[in-house]
Amino acid sequence: MTRLKDAIDFTWALIKGKPTTLAGFGITDADPAGAAAAEAALRTAADSTHAALTTTAHGGIVASTDARLSDARTPTAHVHTEANVTGLVGDLAAKLTPAAGDARYGQLAAANAWTQPQQWAQSAEQVVVPVVEVSPFTPGAAPFQIRANSFPNAGGGAGTWNHGVWVGFNAGRHAGGGVTANQPAIMMGFEDNYYDTGGDSFRGVEWYVQYFSPDGTSVQRLRPFYARIECDNNLDNGAVILQNIGTGASGQWQIRSGLTTLLNTTSAIFATSTPSVTLNGALLSLQPASGQPIFTIAAASLPPTIVMKIGGAPAWYTQAISATVYKISDKDARAQLTLTYGATAIAALTTIGSSLKVDGNAGFNGVAPIAKPVATPANATDLATAITLVNYLKNNVLIAYGLAA
């Protein structure tokens, strides 16, 4: 059986007695505050520019002609500090918060502090400033240090101060401020105002490498490398460069090509293994430990001259007069021996400018040297012995020595 609601199709038109006004539905305020009229007015009104209205009075509304609507307003360069960013300081600090028991973060915090600019001020003259100290794990080992200090100048520099920074192991040996006993010291030193009393008597800046023995006293300030520049005025333009190998047998100074030693100097010898040595200069002197030079080579002008000296005074000269003449002269510059080039050995000429004495055997004109002959007979007493002696001299002296054919 079909139910009633399924059989009847209700529509709005079938409903009788429907209200025809809002009041019929119980709505008594159909146009509150003239809303319909206001709506109609808004629909027909032209767009407003709000030219006479302020943005503050109307909740931020701006006029369509406001210049700010067409101004790009590119941001200008500016700086924000960490505090300007909400929560940034705290977030960064949290990243450095160490995990429980993790000792690495202590080192991290210390390292982070060193990334910031550091400044140290000396509290008074001759008070050491310990800038850096790194202690090895090995017990008793000397620390690596950077220390600064100042020391008074003496002599002509009295009243002024020399300031220095020393960098290396056990640097307190020079800078002060304590040392590690029974340990050597090796360091670089930088000084800005050392007055060299008893030396050049000038103020100067210095850089060097220096060594102290483990006891700190047996060897002091051995400086293998040292440089000094005078700085008393703006015109100083020269440097003193020293290299010191010390006095011990182990000291040496070398120039190498790879592993091959080209030049070697010790406290006792000077040796070179180079295939050639070139010296550019006007004068080369061989100077003994004391006294005057004993040997000089002068090449400032022709002829090149080698001078042998005794007591500092010239004794003998050897000179290459030209490409074909070589001369040996005495202290008065008198030629004793002159060698002149020839196209052949026989064409060459040897000139002896003094008397000649031959202590050994002699031979001439290509004849082998012979011993001094004995005249036979010793004396000529008559014509027969005279002829015999003449023949002997001819054969055993003149011909034998190469003086006659």
Query: What would the pLDDT profile of 83-94 be if each residue is shown by its tens digit?
Result: 888 888 888 777
Predicted pLDDT at 56? 60
- The beta strands (E) that lie in 104-184 are given as 129-134, 144-152, 161-169
The pLDDT of residue 111: 62
In a 10 Å sphere around its CB, with 0-12 CB exposed, 13-18 middle and 19+ buried, how is residue 271 labelled? exposed
3 state SS of 243: strand
396: Cβ–Cβ under 8 A, 6 or more apart, which residues?
373
> What pLDDT does 47 receive?
62
Per the structure block, which two tokens stand in for 32?
A: 């509150």
Residues in the chain predicted with pLDDT less than 70, given as ranges, are 1-10, 22, 24-36, 42-43, 45-64, 96-117, 276-283, 287-295, 299-302
Which pLDDT does position 112 carry in this prediction?
62
- CB contact at 8 A, 253 and 243: yes
Domain boundaries, the chain: 123-237, 283-352, 361-405
Q: Tokens in use for 65?
A: 């002609």
Dist CA 9 CA 6 (whole Å) = 7
Please report the pLDDT score of residue 1 as a whole number.
45
Contact 262, 247 (CB under 8 A): no
- The radius of gyration of the chain's CA atoms, rounded to the nearest angstrom, is 55
Furthest-apart CA atoms within the chain: distance in Å? 205
- As a whole number of angstroms, the distance between CA 54 and CA 63 comes to 9
CA atoms within 13 A on the CB side of 133: 15
Residues 291-319: pLDDT tens digits? 666 667 776 666 778 888 887 788 898 88
Q: Which of 354, 322, 318 is nearest to 336 (CA)?
A: 354
Distance, in Å, from the CA atom of 221 to the CA atom of 171, rounded to the nearest integer, reads 12
